[in-house]
Amino acid sequence: MFKYVSASMIALLMLVSQPAFAAARLAVLHLAPFADTLDGTAVNISANGTVLFENVKYKDFVPYTELDAGEYTIDITPVGATDPALSATVTLQDGVDYSAYAVGNGITQDLALVAIADEMNVPANASDVAVRVIHTAPFAAESSATEVSIRTAGGDVVAGLVGVPYLGNSGFFDIPAGTYDLKVASNDGSVNLIDPLPAPLPAGAGVTLYAIGDGINQPLSILAFPVGELALREPVDNRSNGMWEIIEGSGTGFVFQPMPSQNRVVGTWYTYDEMGLPTFLTFDSCLNESEGETFVCSMPGGFDGMTATTALYQSTGGGPSEDDEVLTEKIGEIDFEIMDCNNAMAVVTLTGQSPVMYTARQLTRPFPCVDSQ
């Protein structure tokens, strides 16, 4: 039967450097979302005609297993079938680790078995972690449509990983050990596709992050080998981007601007004072307190695609000269809830005052919106 990885085995695999060994080692991963149920993806894995692991399902993996050096034909056969659906020949050399992973869904991308040597999967510096990113999520048929970027929670690109296509492999690169909040986004960062919760990457470990799922049979997610599937946030997209009108107030409204790569929202609230003059305020889900004239989002986040609590700021002063001073202060908070593509609620709480609830409808949007919340 298939071997599941226990918590104690995970700790051992992650924290202990790999020992010297005479034989080769092979890991096998089932990353092919070809059915809409896990039971429907169950397969048996054979090497040179001998069944090694049975009833392996999508997102399951066989950790490194020691095998004699030599040539192996790896067959992956659906449970109940007699003929393999996938097959690949792997030549294993002494002292080398290999990974073989089943990919494709038979809809947008063909089923295939990819085998690679896992070279340099231990960091050169004992205080670092070796990380590799492999794109195995067949969510589109055209290669260009599958391209993604890998970003931090702040929206910065990781290791130059932009334009990574389906089956793209970054190879291992070393980064300092620590807790990382990474995500898979569109090339320009405007759409947040897969957003794992922060995960610790311990010193001395070698970790491969597989982007998996097709959005058709199985949802998009991240499998970290040899740890397992990572817990996810709801990805943030641009459906709520645009201008919104407050129904209860003539001429009052807000411009709502999600920043998917940072799980953040910023924008402008506009209204009129008692003299009929326009007043423009700004809001930001970073909730940073004012530090003079500088506002830096040191901890992005606060927007889950539907709700956000934002700091509300007012700026005064300024003028045509660069020497004209602008003063910005926090004057309250706004709690937003995006109900659907066209309707929202906003609760405005000014400092020292009671909350006031408003309803809003969207007037314009720069991005298409399809309700899926």
Outline where DSSP puts E strands in 1-81. 24-30, 43-47, 50-56, 61-67, 70-78
Choice between 121 and 286, residue whose per-residue pLDDT is larger: 286
Instruction: Answer yes or no: is pLDDT of 105 > 50.
Output: yes
Same domain, 210 and 302: no
- How far is 81 from 54, CA to CA, in rounded Å? 12
Helix extents (H) in the chain = 7-15
CA distance 75 to 115: 12
For 352-363, what is the mean pLDDT? 95
Is 1 inside any structural domain?
Answer: no
> What domain range is 30 assigned to?
7-233
**pLDDT tops 90 at residue 192:** no
Q: Is 59 in the same domain as 90?
A: yes
pLDDT at residue 360, rounded to an integer: 96
**CA quadruple 173, 176, 181, 182: dihedral, nearest 10:** -10
Return mean pLDDT, the chain: 86
| Whether residue 139 sits in one domain with residue 39 | yes
Q: Residue 131: enclosing H or E segment and its boundaries?
A: strand 128-135
Residue 127 above 60 pLDDT?
Answer: yes
Same domain for 137 and 250, yes or no, is no
pLDDT given for residue 134 in this prediction = 97
Contact 359/247 with Cβ under 8 angstroms?
yes
212, 233, 254 - which closes a domain: 233
| Mean pLDDT along residues 107-135 | 90
Q: Are residues 259 and 160 in the same domain?
A: no
Query: pLDDT tier at 265 (50, 70, 90 boundaries)?
Result: very high
Mean pLDDT of 61-88: 91
Q: What is the pLDDT of residues 34-61, one digit of tens each?
A: 999 999 999 999 999 999 899 999 999 9
Asked whether residue 195 falls in the same domain as residue 261, the answer is no
Across 269-291, average pLDDT: 79
The answer for residues whose C-beta is within 8 angstroms of residue 134's C-beta and 6 or more apart is 101, 167, 168, 169, 170, 208, 209, 210, 211
Give the domain-ending residue among 211, 233, 255: 233
Q: pLDDT-based confidence at 272, cuts 50/70/90?
A: confident
Q: For residue 257, give the CATH number of its domain.
A: 2.40.128
Pairwise CA distance, residues 324 & 321, whole Å: 5
Higher pLDDT, 16 or 26: 26
Answer yes or no: do 328 and 353 share one domain: yes
Separation of alpha carbons 16 and 206, rounded Å = 10
For the stretch 194-244, pLDDT in tens is 989 888 888 998 899 999 999 999 999 999 999 899 998 877 888 899 999
**Residue 152 and residue 143 in contact, taking contact as beta carbons nearer than 8 Å:** no
Averaged pLDDT for residues 344-368 = 94
- Considering the domain boundaries, does residue 82 fall inside one? yes
* 159 and 193 fall within a common domain: yes
pLDDT tens digit string along 285-299?
986 554 444 556 666
Report residue 263 CA to chain centroid gap. Answer: 11
Contacts of residue 250, Cβ cutoff 8 Å, sequence gap at least 6: none
Dihedral through CA 200, CA 7, CA 9, CA 53, nearest 10?
A: -110
Q: In total, how many domains does the chain have? A: 2
Q: How far is CA 280 from CA 52, 96, 250, 261, in A?
A: 67, 63, 15, 26
Q: Same domain for 80 and 205?
A: yes
Query: What pLDDT does residue 14 have?
Result: 33
State residue 18's pLDDT score: 40
Residue 254 lies in a domain: yes
Residue 16 within a domain: yes
Give the per-residue pLDDT at 11: 31
What value does the mean pLDDT take over residues 184-195? 88
Q: Is 372 inside a domain boundary? A: no
Among 204, 233, 262, identify where a domain stops: 233
Is the model more confident about 88 or about 235?
88
**Same domain? 193 vs 255:** no
From 75-84, 186-195, 211-220, the region with the lowest mean pLDDT: 186-195
Cα 131 from Cα 36, distance rounded (Å): 30
**Whether residue 275 sits in one domain with residue 213:** no
Alpha carbons within 13 angstroms on the beta-carbon side of residue 353 total 12
Predicted confidence (pLDDT) at residue 15 exceeds the cutoff of 80: no
* Domain match, 203 and 59 both: yes
8 Å CB contact between 76 and 113: yes
Q: What is the DSSP string of 102-113?
A: EE--SSSS--EE
